[in-house]
């Protein structure tokens, strides 16, 4: 069985390209934090290359950016190629079957808007509360049970 599930943040903007056959391909690197801290008390991260194909690749290229948080489900793939200097290179990457956008890293303008919207929502909730005395009484004889 070959199944990978990752949640992390993009390290840079995704690269959307098209193959010679016209198939969309999106590449990005996902920074995934490790579960435990190291000996210095810091939490390290692994940087995992991800490949996404076709329509989902186009969506990733359109909606993801550096810092975006996403979940990836796919499989691990290892491939090799000959570099220009004649050496053989090996690459291990995740080929994504599913990518779920979990939210983007907000910038300072978005944070201000979100805070003011939350304050407005709180005020609306306070105003929406109805006192119990405004409920209409129901005749128990009309209930079907």
pLDDT at 5: 98
- Give the N- to C-terminal CA distance of the chain in Å, as an integer: 54
Q: What is the mean pLDDT of residues 48-74?
A: 97
Q: What is the mean pLDDT of residues 21-29?
A: 98
> How far apart (Å, rounded) are the C-alpha atoms in residues 61 and 46?
22
The rounded mean pLDDT for the chain is: 85
Cβ count near 67 (within 10 Å): 16
Reply yes or no on whether the pLDDT at 16 is more than 60.
yes
pLDDT at 117: 54
> How far apart (Å, rounded) are the C-alpha atoms in residues 93 and 27?
10
> How far apart (Å, rounded) are the C-alpha atoms in residues 124 and 88?
64
The answer for residues whose C-beta is within 8 angstroms of residue 81's C-beta and 6 or more apart is: 88, 89, 91
> How far apart (Å, rounded) are the C-alpha atoms in residues 18 and 57?
10
Q: What is the mean pLDDT of residues 14-33?
A: 98
pLDDT at 121: 57
Annotated domain spans of the chain: 4-127
Q: What is the mean pLDDT of residues 39-52?
A: 96
More confident residue, 63 or 126: 63
CATH of domain 4-127: 2.40.50.140
The pLDDT tens digits of the residues spanning 75-120 come to 999 999 999 999 999 999 999 999 999 974 455 455 545 555 555 5
Reply yes or no on whether the pLDDT at 27 is more than 70.
yes
């Amino acid at each position: 069985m070959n199944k990978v599930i990752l949640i992390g943040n993009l390290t840079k903007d995704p690269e959307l390209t098209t193959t010679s056959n016209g198939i969309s391909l999106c590449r990005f690197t996902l920074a995934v934090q490790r579960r435990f801290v190291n000996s210095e008390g810091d939490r390290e991260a692994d940087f995992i290359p991800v490949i996404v194909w076709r329509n989902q690749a186009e969506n990733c290229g359109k909606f993801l950016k550096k810092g975006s948080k996403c979940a990836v489900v796919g499989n691990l793939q290892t491939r090799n190629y000959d570099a220009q200097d004649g050496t053989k290179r090996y690459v291990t990457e995740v080929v994504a079957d599913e990518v779920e956008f979990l939210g983007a890293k907000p910038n300072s303008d978005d944070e201000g808007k979100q805070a003011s919207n939350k304050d407005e929502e709180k005020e609306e909730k306070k105003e929406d509360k109805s006192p119990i005395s405004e409920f209409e009484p129901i005749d128990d004889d009309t209930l079907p049970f």
